[in-house]
Structure 1
Amino acid sequence: MSALVFLVNSAIGIFKIILIVWVITSWLVAFNVINTRNQFVASLMEFLYRVTEPALRPIRRIVPDLGGIDISPLILLLLVQAIQIFFNDSIVPLLYGY
C-alpha cells in the first residue's frame, strides 16, 4: 500500500514541477528570451501545453480576465497542493487504519 501512496505523491509532485516549468517557459517566450522557432523549445512548449491545459481550461473559464495577468496556474498549483495535503492527511490514514 505504501507503493500506491508513493506513486500518487510522486505523480502530484511531477505535475507541480511541470506546471511551474510551463509558467517559467511561457514568461520566457513572452519576454522574447527564448524563441519558439527553435525546434526543442517548440516541442517542449507543445508538451507542456498538452499536459497543463486540460487542468487550466476550467479555471480560466471561471476566473475573470485580469488583463495581461493569468493567475490560473497559481490557482491550479494551490488546488493541487490542497489535494495532496487532503490525500496525505485524510485518505492515507484510512488506507492504513490509523
Structure 2
Amino acid sequence: MTSIFQILLMIIGVARFMIFAHFIMSWLISFQVLNVRQSLVAQVWYGLERLLDPIYRPLRNFLPRMGGLDLSPVVALLGLEAIRIILINNISMFY
C-alpha cells in the first residue's frame, strides 16, 4: 500500500510541474519571449493545453469571468495541494 501512496504523490507532483510549466509558458508567450510559430514551442504549448484542458475547463465554468485573467491554474494548484495534504494526513490508511 505504501507504493500506492507514493504513486499518488508522484502523480500530484507531475501535475503540479505541468501546471507551473503551462503558467510560465503562457506569460512568456504573452510577452512575446516565446513564439508559438516555432515548432518545438508549439508542440509543448499545445501538448500542455490538451493535457490540462480537462482540469481547467470545469474550473473555468465555475469561476467568474475576470477579463483576461485566468485563475483556473491557481485553483487547480490549490486543489492539488489540498489533495496532497489530505493524503499525507491520512497516511495511516496506506499501511
TM-score over 0.5 for the alignment?
Answer: yes
RMSD: 0.9
Counterpart in the other structure of 1:9: 9
Percent pairwise identity = 33
Structure-2 separation of matches of 1:94 and 1:34: 45
Aligned to 1:95: 94
CA distance in 1, matches of 2:36, 2:68: 20
Q: In the TM superposition, what whole-angstrom CA distance separates every residue of 1:42-84 from its partner, at most 9, and x where no partner exists?
A: 0000111111110010000010111111111001100011011
Structure 2: 5+ residue stretches without partners: none
Quick check: 1:29 aligned with 2:5? no
- Per mean C-alpha deviation after superposition, the further-off stretch among 2-11 and 54-63 is 2-11
Distance 1:28 1:53 in 2: 19
Q: Which has the higher contact order (CA 8 A, sep 6+)?
A: 2
> Matches of residues 1-98 of structure 1 in structure 2 within 5 Å?
1-90=1-90, 92-96=91-95
SS of alignment partner, residue 51 of structure 2: helix
- Shift of residue 95, structure 1, vs aligned partner: 2.4
User: Residues 63 and 72 of structure 2 are in contact (CA less than 8 Å); yes or no, is this contact kept in structure 1?
Assistant: yes
User: TM-score under structure 2 normalisation?
Assistant: 0.94
TM-score by length of 1: 0.92
Aligned residues: 95
Structure 1 portions without partners, runs of 5+:
none
